[in-house]
Amino acid sequence: MESNHDLKREVMVLDNIKEVTAQELAAWDRDSYELVDIRNDLAFGYGHIPGAISIPGEAIFARSADFREKKLVVYCQKGELSAGAAERLQEEELDVYSLQGGYLNWLMTAADKALDDNYYKEVEQSLRKKFRKDIWCNFTKAVREYELVKEGDKIAVCISGGKDSMLMAKLFQELKRHNKVNFEVIYLVMNPGYSEANMEIIRQNAKNLHIPITVFESDIFESVFHVEKSPCYLCARMRRGYLYSKAKELGCNKIALGHHYDDVIETILMGMLYGGQVQTMMPKLHSTNFEGMELIRPMYLIREDRIKAWRDYNGLGFIQCACKFTDTCSTCNPNGANASKRMDVKQLIAQMKKTNPFVESNIFRSVENVNLSTVVAYKKDGVKHHFLETYDQI
């Protein structure tokens, strides 16, 4: 147990840390400071403050000499680890500040800004013009090629609050506006236990983008919080079940999820490297537990870097996962126990692309070109088949 002396010393240390609020930072001359995001690469890629550079975790201390000419502002997810980093950097006589409340507080401040009444129209215009080829056309191509939207469908577009699902919602609005097929859409947000701050960011972003969301509550985060083995897997399964159930209750026959092209190729490699199997994330699936329900992935052909470009072009900021595991500063540590296998695979693909520019499309096409005569074994409807079963049938 800590003594009163230790607690006093801790308070004194924290009192010495210089903090800056998001509002104060916005008023500073941008050339007067450097802004550094110390979260891991996955969190930075998902969303960051414009103008920030990524120096994850402990790496900031090895770069301290680079920041002697200007003020240095560091931030993490909620301002906890960045406060500790600022304290250590102060010992090296740097003029360093920790961003109060971290990235989450900055998101709340940005979402609360009064926007022009035509803002959402400009976002929609960007999909019709600037991102027509890379986003809109790939969205409609997936809808056509995989027959994702049919006459009479009622689709629950599932919004988590992140960049992918928010973009998907806007794309469905465009599809609804221009498509000749008659279908209905509900923009469904499940609150599995988000903090009120995260829910407010989702609501405000939906309002700014003119997305009429339907919100329902669940206690999934609480249910899996104390699960030690594979809590993320269990959480994902439970969330999907709740979404199916609510969508069916609302009269829907399909749920739409915002997985994109990069999710697909990463899943293929993850299955091989970590699961010892060849499989992919399908563009649509029949539900095995909810009769008459389907899952569709209409962003199947859209690249993640184009989603990020759309987000940044329109000055948008979204939450990440925001669960009790990742909505803490534990995610700022890239070497921690929760380091993402998906991040490892992302980096592996990026490394291979340096010598083979076609590696991503080759991974994607590999599951479209499976030659069963060269496969030792495969599964069909849960039954394993071996090449020896037909080997002597010449």
Q: What is the pLDDT of residue 324?
A: 53
Where residue 258 falls (left for φ over 0; alpha for ψ -120 to 50; beta otherwise) is alpha
In DSSP notation, 40-95 reads: -HHHHHH---TT-EE--TTHHHHTGGGGSSSEEEEE-SSSHHHHHHHHHHHTTT--
Position 256 pLDDT exceeds 90: yes
Q: What is the pLDDT of residue 78?
A: 87
Q: What is the pLDDT of residue 121?
A: 93
Q: What is the pLDDT of residues 48-71, one digit of tens each?
A: 898 999 999 889 999 988 999 999
Is residue 177 within 8 A of residue 140, CB to CB? The reply is no
Most confidently modeled range among 6-20, 78-92, 321-335 = 78-92
3-class SS at 254? Answer: strand
Q: pLDDT confidence of 321, banded at 50, 70, 90?
A: low
Position 339 pLDDT exceeds 50: no
Position 340 pLDDT exceeds 80: no
DSSP 3-state helix, strand, coil percentages of the chain (rounded to 5)? Answer: 50, 15, 40
Which is it for strands 294-296 and 284-286: parallel, antiparallel or unpaired?
A: antiparallel
Q: What is the pLDDT of residue 328?
A: 45
Is residue 136 within 8 A of residue 299, CB to CB? The reply is no
- Nearest CA to 149 out of 283, 269, 32, 301 is that of 283
Separation CA 144–CA 200 (nearest Å): 35
Is residue 166 within 8 A of residue 172, CB to CB? The reply is no
Sheet holding 33-37: strands in order across?
Answer: 19-20, 96-99, 71-75, 33-37, 53-54
- Nearest CA to 167 out of 336, 306, 370 is that of 306
pLDDT > 90: percent of the chain: 62
Token pair for 249: 């209750």
Mean pLDDT of 316-334: 57
Chain mean pLDDT for the chain: 87
In DSSP notation, 357-386 reads: TTHHHHHHHHTTS--GGG-SEEEETTEEEE
In DSSP notation, 255-297 reads: EE----HHHHHHHHHHHHHHHSS-----SEEE-SSSTT-EEE-
Mean pLDDT of 359-377: 95
List, in order, residues 6 or more apart from 87 with CB less than 8 Å away.
Answer: 13, 16, 17
Position 327 pLDDT exceeds 50: no
Q: What is the pLDDT of residue 332?
A: 42
Q: What is the pLDDT of residue 335?
A: 43
Q: What is the pLDDT of residue 45?
A: 81
User: In terms of pLDDT, which residue wins out, 238 or 221?
Assistant: 238
Q: What is the pLDDT of residues 174-227, one digit of tens each?
A: 999 987 889 999 999 998 888 788 888 899 999 999 999 999 988 887 777 766
Separation CA 374–CA 267 (nearest Å): 22
Q: pLDDT confidence of 228, banded at 50, 70, 90?
A: low
3-class SS at 35? Answer: strand
Which is it for strands 96-99 and 19-20: parallel, antiparallel or unpaired?
A: parallel
Let me know the angle formed at the C-alpha of 28 by 26 and 33, rounded to the nearest 5 degrees.
110
Q: What is the pLDDT of residue 107?
A: 87
- Sole residue written with tokens 């990235």: 103
Q: What is the pLDDT of residue 29?
A: 94
| DSSP tag of 28 | S
Q: What is the pLDDT of residue 343?
A: 83
| DSSP tag of 355 | T
